[in-house]
Amino acid sequence: MVDTYSAGSVGAGQILGHIRGPPGPTNVPSMEAPTKRVQVKRVPERARYDRSVVDAILDEALICHIGIIADEGHPVVIPTIHARDGDTLYLHGSPASRLLRSMQPGTEICLTATLLDGLVVARSAFHNSMNYRSVVVIGTPRIVDDPAEKRAALEIITDHVIAGRWAASRPVTDKEIASTLVTALRLDEASAKVRTGPPVDDEADYELPIWAGVVPLTLQAGAPIPDDRLSDGIPLPEHVAAVADGGH
């Protein structure tokens, strides 16, 4: 993982408050890793195995990346939209998608999501870094066949991107539901890794006349741009305006 919490009960600010501090040995992993495969090996003090941390990162992230072995036998990593419902992550796409076609029954995948919080500028280029929150999930997805679960999953995914959009949209048709493939991935095997705080330079470098610190980074929505074919008199809905005002 890069030397990088849903609407759930813990927000990003709470998480950063929970783990704030220099990335040193005082920041110890909060729990044991669920499996060795998702145990953080590099800078293990940045590991976070609390599900509340994992959940909140996944809930804040708008996209994830999934690593698979394609049908042709080579590895590929593909970005996609995800959404969490309790212990399950839902993914969706076209049945013709290479990603989803590769998810044959019993095939494992690796899913990652990263939130970039700042550029860490050190006195030495060697110690430059980034502040981040990231998650790795390993598991075997299942295809969602139950129509009720499938429709509910699509609602969850839609509202993950813009809360309230499902209810405000034209209802999806049975044909659209049938032409969409939805998969579910349990969060039994997941871990997070987090870096916060200032650069960590070599002790002798702190006396150098070189600026060091952190450049904070945020993902910020701009003003909504109406569709060129939007009919006259249709106002900007509150749930879309809320995104521009900093909501999600």
Q: How far apart are CA 158 and CA 154, in angstroms?
A: 6
pLDDT in tens, 160-201: 999 999 999 999 999 999 899 999 999 999 999 999 999 999
Q: At the fourth CATH level, which superfamily is domain 12-244?
A: Electron Transport, Fmn-binding Protein; Chain A (2.30.110.10)
Q: What pLDDT was estimated at residue 30?
A: 55
pLDDT averaged over every residue in the chain: 87
- Under the banding of pLDDT at 50, 70 and 90, the label for residue 103 is low
What are the distances in angstroms from CA 114 to CA 27, 70, 129, 175, 192?
A: 20, 23, 15, 34, 9
The owner of tokens 């299942």 is 142
Q: What pLDDT was estimated at residue 99?
A: 65
Q: What pLDDT was estimated at residue 73?
A: 86
Residue 204 CB neighbours (<10 A): 9
The residue extents of the domains of the chain are 12-244
